[in-house]
Structure 1
Amino acid sequence: MAPSVLASCLWVLAASGTAMLPMRRQMVPGLLLLATAPVLMVWMAAQVGWWAGALAFLAFLSMFRRPFGALLRWARGRTA
């Protein structure tokens, strides 16, 4: 197994563990996961292939759909 795939599997386990934390304790680990995800996706695409990076990107978007939606609403100036 490629090291990037193993690291990505560990990232998914860390993200699942973070999701089980109370909301007030999710901020720091969630930001760390958010920051490391692009590095892992590029690494995986370089080692395995572009299709693996694309699948990882889609999985990442699926996991962070609500935070990204809130960020888009905030950027547009809508609070509701």
Structure 2
Amino acid sequence: MSTPLILAAFWALIANVLAMTPSRDHHWRNAYILIAVGIPIVGLVTWAHGPWIGMLVMVAGMSVLRWPVIYLGRWIRRITLR
């Protein structure tokens, strides 16, 4: 297994552990940190293994961080419908 895929698996493990911990801000601070760390990891995976594997890793990350993606979609929809 390559280093970028190991990093992606480690990111997913950390994300799941963080999801199990209690949080006062409903995990938004954790989500911002995971997004900031996850974007370069997706780039590394895409660079090392190609766009299809990169998209699979991105979709896996989006499934873990689904609420930021939902809020981003709502924000884009609100901006475009004005």
Gaps of 5+ in 1: none
Q: How does 1:1-80 map to 2 (within 5 A)?
A: 1-24=1-24, 26-73=27-74, 76=78
User: Cα–Cα, structure 1 residues 41 and 30, in superposed 2: closer, same or farther, change >3 Å?
Assistant: same
Q: Give the length in aligned residue pairs.
A: 77
Amino acid at match of 2:33: L
State the TM-score, normalized to the length of structure 1: 0.78
State the TM-score, normalized to the length of structure 2: 0.76
Choose between structure 1 and 2 for higher RCO, CA contacts under 8 A separated by at least 6 residues.
2
Task: Summarize deviations over 1:11-54 as a string: whole Å, max 9, x none.
Answer: 00000011101132633332111111111111001111211101
RMSD: 2.0
Deviation (angstroms), 1:72: 4.2
